Amino acid sequence: MNPEMAKIWISTTVYGTEFLSASWQTRASLTEYARRGLAEFAYITFCAHIEATLAEMVFNRCRSIRRLIRWEELPKQKWNDNGQLKFLDVAPVTQSLLDLVYSIEEDAHQSPLGKLKEQYRMIFNKSVRDSIGIELDNDLLAVAAMRNIFAHGRYYYVELPDHSMNPEAIVSFDANPIQKAAIQLQKAGIVKTMQVDGSNHDSVNEELHSDAAVLYFNDAAIRIEEKLLAANDYELELGTMRTTPTLIRLLP
């Protein structure tokens, strides 16, 4: 996007959250696989919404920096050059700073979650983890890990500790992308146990796709959004500059 051109936009999370809300109300009529597909769409939607919130916060702060400070009116600066007093034009320096800020502003709406968290720290001088707390950040990392599986069509899998395919061998979740979500849901009592074997490992998969899991991460995403906005409550950026709607709360 060109900084000199007007822009018309809408947050695409509007469509996703509305579709999720409408589909959620009819989930009782879905087949088991379709309900699991709906749960996967929910994980994708929650992660996308938090990414959109972070992107908009970074974007709006960068716009505030560019627009609210009268950069062109900054006076020349005094500089002592080996005893000789000079008055230096700051325009080249401010232009470099504005170019840097604009680069971050533009990049925000294309950045993945990890980079958004880096941009957030750079712009607001604090981490997302500090703003929302450890447990909610763990929830965010869990949702992001599940989103990566579902959005990119990757395998859901479990690993047995040996090559014998012994059905009684305990499944290992170490380094498994579902591990983060399973741990958070186990803390909430939704995943009953991660001590499963080759014959009943699908119990964890079923619990990850359950209504309770979706509602848990829906609530977590709402609280993450609330804490992010509360931590950076600059009036202008929460008013007319904010276009991302708040996340819809799904009903049990």
**pLDDT tens by residue, 88-147:** 888 888 888 888 888 999 899 899 999 999 999 999 999 999 999 999 999 999 999 999
- How confident is the model at residue 163, as a pLDDT? 62
172-227 pLDDT, tens digit each: 888 899 999 999 999 999 999 888 887 787 889 999 999 999 999 999 999 999 99
4-30 pLDDT, tens digit each: 566 677 778 889 899 999 999 999 999
- How confident is the model at residue 3, as a pLDDT? 55
Residue of 94, 174, 185, 102 lying closest to 139 (CA atoms): 185
pLDDT band at 50 (very low <50, low <70, confident <90, very high): very high
pLDDT band at 167 (very low <50, low <70, confident <90, very high): low
Q: Mean pLDDT, to the nearest integer, of 155-183?
A: 81
DSSP conformation class of 36: H
Q: Angle between the 211-231 and 179-187 helix axes, to the nearest 10 degrees?
A: 90
- How confident is the model at residue 88, as a pLDDT? 87
- How confident is the model at residue 55, as a pLDDT? 94
Q: How far apart are CA 227 and CA 129, in angstroms?
A: 11
C-alpha dist (Å) from residue 179 to 1, 94, 128, 168, 208: 39, 47, 21, 20, 10
- How confident is the model at residue 46, as a pLDDT? 97
pLDDT band at 170 (very low <50, low <70, confident <90, very high): confident
- How confident is the model at residue 165, as a pLDDT? 65
User: Greatest CA separation found in the chain?
Assistant: 83
- How confident is the model at residue 214, as a pLDDT? 98
- How confident is the model at residue 42, as a pLDDT? 97
Whole-model pTM: value is: 0.88
* pLDDT higher than 70, residue 39: yes
Are the C-beta atoms of 139 and 217 separated by less than 8 Å? Answer: yes
Q: How far apart are CA 222 and CA 201, in angstroms?
A: 30
